[in-house]
Amino acid sequence: MASAAARVDLDGKPITGITICMIGAGGFIGSHLCEKLMSETSHKVLAVDVYNDKIKHLLEPDSLPWNGRIQFHRINIKNDSRLEGLIKMADLTINLAAICTPADYNTRPLDTIYSNFIDALPVVKYCSENNKRLIHFSTCEVYGKTIGSYLPKDSPLRQDPAYYILKEDESPCIFGSIEKQRWSYACAKQLIERLIYAEGAENGLEFTIVRPFNWIGPRMDFIPGIDGPSEGVPRVLACFSNNLLRREPLKLVDGGESQRTFIYIKDAIEAVMLMIENPARANGHIFNVGNPNNEVTVRQLAEMMTKVYSKVSGEPSIDSPTIDVSSKEFYGEGYDDSDKRIPDMTIINKQLGWNPKTSLWDLLESTLTYQHRTYAEAIKQAIAKPIAS
């Protein structure tokens, strides 16, 4: 373990321990961030969430070397007066709490808007009123669709990066019509970004906004019927992992033509650590955090995951590894999609000198090894169990 005293920031100044109020600490990103903060720094974490299953391994045994540096507070931020006290006790608040699975955006639009906008309001207010620094998690979905997607299909301009690269300080936010309730999430995230930015401009709030671009890795979401509801629809990594574990075809929504850039969670956490420990360089900025080198269509992702899973499980893939489904059938009415998401990296490079490292193949190999080790046996047992009549 690195000695905390030996750690310095990007300007060579020693890093002193701080207290972080992390809201949504029990989720996918929060669990990895807590792990990193405990194992490599001397910072303290007040971990706020309604669940703690994904950070249990960091909380329980008294023998852990970070004993006492992480405290779990089971709080629903919608209605708990303890929140302000925790924010006041901390030097920095990181807000990760949100509904952030696309299957919810068009089927539970009210919960989505409340979670991503209304519930975040008191967090911003308490930080601003108490002069506390805030790192808020937004999303690459605030960019919506690319400008290029509105050009004719055969237009050569579609190949010009000016029409698809997503830049924090230049790109517009392009959403579909109101009936396309998919955009309830992106729109709520955009409005909270604008509110935070305005708190910075008018009241001097010290903030950093993070726009993650498809961070993936172990502990993302849930496997339906094993550690989440049987009918639940998680994000694509968990959907495809579930299909592979059950030896079912992977479902390609609307032909799997949408494009995404995927980044390994551990690379992305390095970027967040730099933001935490270099406030002078991170404050007042909005950062894209993604891996522009890992772009694939969803169909290519399915093909690669099938190959990697076959390698890590030692089982040959099934005869028809993918199947096409319509978005209406898969997500229901009101779904829409981002066509392509490539992050511009200029701002994060300039401010924090950060770059992602892990290739898509390598990150899928370590993630699917984890999925196989964690779930294969449970799935086998669930399949073998006779269904109660």
Ligand X SMILES: NC(=O)c1ccc[n+]([C@@H]2O[C@H](COP(=O)([O-])OP(=O)(O)OC[C@H]3O[C@@H](n4cnc5c(N)ncnc54)[C@H](O)[C@@H]3O)[C@@H](O)[C@H]2O)c1
Residue 119 binding partner per list ligand X, ligand UGA, none, with a CB distance cut-off of 5 to 8 Å that depends on partner kind: ligand X
Q: Does 77 bind ligand X (CB under 6 A)?
A: yes
185 labelled catalytic: yes
Name the nearest CA neighbour of 149 among 370, 339, 341, 366: 339
Q: Measured from the CB of residue 316, what is the shortest distance to ligand UGA in angstroms?
A: 22
CA distance 317 to 248: 10
Instruction: Give whichever of 97 and 360 is closer to ligand X, judged by the CB atom.
Output: 97
Phi-psi region of 247 (alpha: psi -120 to 50; beta: other; left: phi over 0): left
User: Alpha-carbon dihedral of residues 310, 314, 320, 322, nearest 10 degrees?
Assistant: -30
Q: At what angle do helices 360-384 and 298-313 cross, to 10 degrees?
A: 70
Are 236 and 101 spatial neighbours (Cβ–Cβ below 8 Å)?
A: no
Q: Does 119 bind ligand X (CB under 6 A)?
A: yes
Residue 77 binding partner per list ligand X, ligand UGA, none, with a CB distance cut-off of 5 to 8 Å that depends on partner kind: ligand X
Annotated catalytic residue: which of 185, 331, 335, 375? Answer: 185
Scan residues 94-113 and list those touching ligand X (CB under 6 A). Answer: 96-98, 100
Instruction: Give whichever of 296 and 347 is closer to ligand UGA, judged by the CB atom.
Output: 296
Q: Does 294 bind ligand X (CB under 6 A)?
A: no
Q: Which of 78, 82, 350, 357 binds ligand X (CB under 6 A)?
A: 78
Q: Which long-range contacts (CB under 8 A, 24 or more apart) does 105-109 make?
A: 105/181, 105/182, 105/183, 105/184, 105/185, 105/335, 106/180, 106/181, 106/182, 106/184, 106/331, 106/332, 106/333, 106/334, 106/335, 107/331, 107/332, 107/334, 109/181, 109/184, 109/334
Residue 123 binding partner per list ligand X, ligand UGA, none, with a CB distance cut-off of 5 to 8 Å that depends on partner kind: none
Name the nearest CA neighbour of 105 among 370, 327, 273: 327
Are 240 and 371 spatial neighbours (Cβ–Cβ below 8 Å)?
A: no
Stretch that binds ligand UGA, among 25-33, 40-48, 166-174, 256-264 (CB under 6 A): 256-264
Scan residues 276-335 and list those touching ligand UGA (CB under 6 A). Answer: 298
Q: Does 104 bind ligand UGA (CB under 6 A)?
A: no
Q: Measured from the CB of residue 193, what is the shortest distance to ligand UGA in angstroms?
A: 13
Residue 102 binding partner per list ligand X, ligand UGA, none, with a CB distance cut-off of 5 to 8 Å that depends on partner kind: ligand UGA
Q: Count the site residues for ligand UGA by CB under 6 A.
A: 20
Q: Measured from the CB of residue 310, what is the shortest distance to ligand X in angstroms?
A: 25
Q: Does 120 bind ligand UGA (CB under 6 A)?
A: no
Q: Measured from the CB of residue 139, what is the shortest distance to ligand X in angstroms?
A: 4
Q: Does 24 bind ligand X (CB under 6 A)?
A: yes
Q: Count the site residues for ligand X by CB under 6 A.
A: 23
Q: Does 24 bind ligand UGA (CB under 6 A)?
A: no
Active site residues: 185
Site residues for ligand UGA per CB under 6 A = 100, 102, 139-141, 212-214, 235-236, 239, 251-253, 256, 258, 260, 298, 337-338
Site residues for ligand X per CB under 6 A = 24, 26-30, 49-51, 76-78, 96-98, 100, 115, 119, 137, 139, 212, 214-215
